[in-house]
Amino acid sequence: MNVRQVSLRRWAALKGWTTRRSFTSSVILAVLSFASPAAAQLPSIRVVATGGTIAGTGSGDLSAADLVARIPELSKVARISTEDFSRIGSSSMTPELQHRLARRINELFASPDAPAGIVITHGTDSLEETSFLLDLLIESDRPVVFAAAQRPPSEPDSDGPRNLLNAVRVAASPQARGAGVLVTLNGEIHAARDVRKTHAVSLDAFKSPDGGGPVGHIDGSHVVIGRKPLRRLTLRPQAVEPRVELLTLTAGSDGRLILAAAEFAQAIVLEVFGRGNMAPVIMQAVGKVREKGVIVVFTTRTRGGRVELSTEANAAGVISGEDLDGLKARMLLVAALGVTRDPKVLQSYFERLAGR
Ligand code: ASP
């Protein structure tokens, strides 16, 4: 149902007309054919809802159509259609669901009446992971923009409606074409490769510290995109590999967690110290799991900068995650292991995403 349909349905209800779908739909179609030609010129944007605080309390109370109906201004920006993908808090997202979402977006863009852009509403908790996986898997250069909220619709100052309106503005903007998957909150536009949730409650929680900050912003009704991300990669896996674990070294880590993870994981992302440092006992554990054939990627736990592999790590066939943080490095493996298990090819993917 699009926004015009939502408001027409409300208008029909006010007039005391029946709200039966078939009757309403024909009234809507009839009225739409006389609707302003300006509206027909607007880009078509699909809003796909997955749940999250933007839709309710975390379990996703509002549907995509409900979310859209709450923002009348949307009808001046785009012709909106909606669909519900899921209604979950994003802490319940899984690689399989994320992959299914990516396939759905590719399907929408491949259809004869493909929208000009797609907005995905999502929880903030795993937004940085889902948006990056989609950045790796979406084949179209049409805009895909994530919208989320830190405050639910029940709050008088919820940030959801503004963030959704802004996301639709970005998705409808020709500037967003070829910019990869974008994330829009708090008036800023971030590249999926770089964005991180950095605060549990602040409205200004999403940052791209290592990517040089946001790629753009929304100024009133104007979308301003200053640069497009160059460090991108598109993969086409048939299936994704969810059995990728993320571990962080701490002072005193003795390697037992690494050995335990190797019992079930196909790959381990290890956030090591600084530029690539670790106690000898850790390198011994890594050597053992590599002998079992488990893929190991090192990233830095500093959340900034690049990892440089030692001679021993290189000899053991460890992969450098370059400057991706642990969460993003894991998502790259989730997608890439559906394409190859060759450490050299996997290393080349990380290097491509590091701009090398
Ligand atoms: N629990 C929520 C989620 O689905 C938090 C949020 O959306 O801000 O991620």
pLDDT of residue 285: 98
pLDDT of residue 8: 41
Q: What angle do CA 73, 75, 78 make, to 5 degrees?
A: 115
Is the CB–ligand 1 distance for residue 60 below 6 Å? Answer: no
Is the CB–ligand 1 distance for residue 58 below 6 Å? Answer: yes
**Tens digits of pLDDT across the chain (356 residues):** 444 444 444 433 333 333 333 333 333 333 444 456 678 899 999 999 999 999 996 555 899 999 999 999 999 999 999 999 999 999 999 999 999 999 999 999 999 999 999 999 999 999 999 999 999 999 999 999 999 999 999 999 999 999 999 999 999 999 999 999 999 999 999 999 999 999 999 999 999 988 889 999 999 999 999 999 888 999 999 999 999 999 999 999 999 999 999 999 999 999 999 999 999 999 999 999 999 999 999 999 998 999 999 999 999 999 999 999 999 999 999 999 999 999 999 999 999 999 98
Site to substitute for ligand 1 among 91, 151, 185, 204, most atoms within 8 A of C-beta: 91
Q: Does domain 244-353 have CATH number 3.40.50.150?
A: no
Q: What is the largest CA-CA distance in the chain?
A: 77
Distance CA 10, CA 7 (A): 5
pLDDT of residue 2: 46
Taking the C-alpha atoms of 94, 98, 99 and 102 in order, what is their torsion angle to the nearest 10 degrees? 180
Distance CA 151, CA 285 (A): 43
The residue annotated as part of the active site, out of 50, 53, 121, 299, is 53
Superfamily of domain 35-225: L-asparaginase, N-terminal domain (3.40.50.1170)
pLDDT of residue 57: 63
| Sheet of strand 79-84: strand arrangement | 79-84, 44-49, 117-121, 144-147, 181-185, 188-191, 216-219, 222-225
Do 244-353 and 35-225 fall under one CATH topology? Answer: yes
Is the CB–ligand 1 distance for residue 124 below 6 Å? Answer: yes
**In the annotation, is 53 catalytic?**
yes
Is the CB–ligand 1 distance for residue 89 below 6 Å? Answer: yes
Q: For the chain, what are the domain ranges?
A: 35-225, 244-353
Is the CB–ligand 1 distance for residue 86 below 6 Å? Answer: no
**Strand-strand pairing, 181-185 and 188-191:** antiparallel
- Run of H or E residues at 33: helix 21-33
Distance CA 38, CA 79 (A): 11
Cβ–Cβ contacts within 10 Å for residue 256, how many? 10
Is the CB–ligand 1 distance for residue 160 below 6 Å? Answer: no
Distance from Cα 177 to the centre of ligand 1, integer Å: 27
Site to substitute for ligand 1 among 90, 158, 206, most atoms within 8 A of C-beta: 90
pTM tops 0.85: yes
Q: Record the tokens describing residue 95, joined without a space.
A: 């690689």
pLDDT of residue 61: 84
Distance from Cα 18 to the centre of ligand 1, integer Å: 37
pLDDT of residue 35: 54
Atom 1 in ligand 1: which residue has the minimum CA distance?
58
Atom 7 in ligand 1: which residue has the minimum CA distance?
123
